[in-house]
């Protein structure tokens, strides 16, 4: 069970983003006006330079020497940083793969903007432009089918749809990853074949899905990731044990892996710094084949950190595991 499940119906204010997306019709209109201005006589060029510059910025057109290049701009919606980062100035560019591929069918146009591979997760940013007559809203959550190097990803996922305007939506998808071949280029086959993956209905199937094949390098993640083996058991004082496996740290997130057989009781961990600062998990998943807590990135060089267990159960019928002994497991002693 993931605490992100409750976030699926949330809305996000995108007014903070500087770029406002244009429809295909608006882009074509701006393009024609810019080209017309450029072809004016030389004596009129200076007069209209300021106006043409505004048109160029608005339409996403780059002017280079004596020709006009109409850029394929996939990042009209929020980027991955808007989904993951707490700080507006965070930049994950070294870890992201910019894609910019678009596919179109009777339901509309789907643009795969960018993807990011981190410790145990794949993040996808897309832009969806529904065709005329196709009903779509922010409470609909398309979930892709993904193959990683030919193998299906079957673990938990999170979807988020954000309305940019009536004709455009930003779609975020997060999929759990296991046994990532960090340091290699990973092949992903991504298929969007349903506009609303709903566990209580068939959703909105797409008979001609949007399909993307991409390659994602992970050398930068390999160069910056740190793995801390723990390999120890914690007694909870009532006959139950938690086995700590390892922690993985990257500039994007910190993740703790552990085994906890009593899944009804959601035992999670918090990070406690030597200074007393406590960091609660941003994501906690309890599963029979492995549990984990995800935290923001931390800097082990700045101070010492400890793991402290606590009960985070949201199940009112869960068995009380009893008093959890105060324990502080050093991460970087």
Residue intervals in the chain for CATH 2.60.40.1640: 225-330
Q: What digits encode the pLDDT tens for the residues 42-79?
A: 444 343 334 333 333 333 333 233 332 223 444 444 68
What confidence score (pLDDT) does residue 326 get? 79
Number of Cβ within a 10 Å radius of residue 138? 17
CA angle 218/94/83 to nearest 5° reads: 95
User: Residue 261 corresponds to which tokens in the numbers above?
Assistant: 């057989």
Whole-angstrom distance, CA of residue 256 vs CA of residue 282: 12
Buried b (16+ CB within 10 A) or exposed e, 95-117: bbbebebbeeeebbbbbbbbbbb
pLDDT band at 1 (very low <50, low <70, confident <90, very high): very low
Statement: 76-222 belongs to CATH 2.60.40.1630: yes
CA distances from 3 to 8, 35, 232 (A): 10, 51, 26
Residues 6 or more apart whose Cβ sits within 8 Å of residue 85 = 92
Q: Quickly state the pLDDT bin for 154 (edges 50, 70, 90).
A: confident
By the 8 A CB rule, do 331 and 300 touch?
A: yes
pLDDT tens readout for residues 195-218: 998 777 788 999 999 999 999 999
Q: What is the mean pLDDT of residues 7-17?
A: 42
Range list for CATH 2.60.40.1630 in the chain: 76-222
- Whether 163 has a pLDDT exceeding 50, the answer reads yes
Q: Which residues of 289-320 are buried (b: 16+ CB within 10 A; e: fewer)?
A: ebbbbbbbebeeeeeebbbebeebbeeeeeee
This prediction has a pTM of: 0.73
Query: The sheet that has 157-165: what strands, in order across it?
Result: 96-105, 108-118, 121-130, 168-176, 157-165
A 10 A CB-CB count for 177 gives 17
Query: What CATH code is assigned to 225-330?
Result: 2.60.40.1640
* Residue count (the chain): 333
Counting residues of the chain whose pLDDT is more than 90, the rounded percentage is 54
Q: Which residues are CB-neighbours of 55 under 8 A, at least 6 positions away?
A: 30, 33, 34, 37, 61
What is the pLDDT, as a whole number, of residue 135?
Answer: 94
Q: What is the DSSP string of 227-267?
A: EEEEEEEEE-SSS-EEEEEEEEE-SS-EEEEEE-S-TTS-E
C-alpha separations of 66 from 91, 256, 330 in Å: 33, 55, 62
Partners of residue 161 on adjacent β-strands: 171
């Amino acid at each position: 069970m993931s605490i992100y499940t409750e976030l699926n119906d949330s809305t996000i204010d995108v007014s903070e983003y500087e770029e406002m997306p244009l429809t295909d019709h608006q882009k074509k209109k701006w393009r024609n006006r810019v080209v017309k201005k450029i072809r004016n006589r030389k004596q009129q060029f200076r007069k209209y330079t300021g106006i043409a510059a505004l048109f160029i910025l608005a339409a996403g057109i780059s002017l280079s020497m004596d020709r006009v290049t109409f850029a394929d701009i996939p990042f009209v919606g929020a980027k991955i940083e808007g989904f993951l980062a707490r700080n507006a100035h965070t930049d994950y560019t070294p870890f992201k793969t910019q894609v910019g591929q678009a596919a179109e069918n009777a339901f509309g146009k789907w643009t795969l903007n960018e993807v990011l591979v981190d410790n145990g997760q794949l993040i996808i940013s897309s832009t969806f432009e529904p065709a005329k007559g196709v009903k779509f809203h922010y409470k609909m959550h398309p979930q892709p089918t993904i193959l990683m190097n030919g193998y299906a990803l079957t673990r938990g996922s999170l979807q988020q749809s954000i309305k940019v305007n009536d004709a455009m939506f930003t779609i975020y998808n997060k999929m759990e990853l296991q046994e990532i071949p960090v340091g290699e280029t990973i092949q992903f086959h991504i298929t969007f074949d349903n506009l609303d993956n709903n566990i209580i209905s068939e959703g909105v199937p797409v008979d001609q899905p949007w399909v993307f094949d991409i390659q994602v390098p992970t050398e930068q993640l390999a160069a910056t990731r740190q793995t801390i083996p723990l390999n120890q058991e914690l007694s909870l004082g009532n006959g139950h044990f938690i086995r700590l496996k390892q922690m993985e740290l990257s500039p994007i997130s910190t993740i703790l892996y552990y085994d906890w057989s009593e899944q009804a009781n959601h035992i999670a961990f918090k990070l406690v710094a030597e200074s007393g600062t406590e960091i609660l998990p941003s994501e906690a998943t309890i599963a029979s084949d492995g549990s984990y807590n995800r935290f923001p990135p931390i800097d082990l060089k700045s101070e010492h950190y400890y793991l402290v267990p606590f009960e985070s159960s949201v199940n009112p019928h869960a068995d009380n595991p009893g008093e959890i002994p105060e324990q502080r497991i050093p991460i970087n002693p």
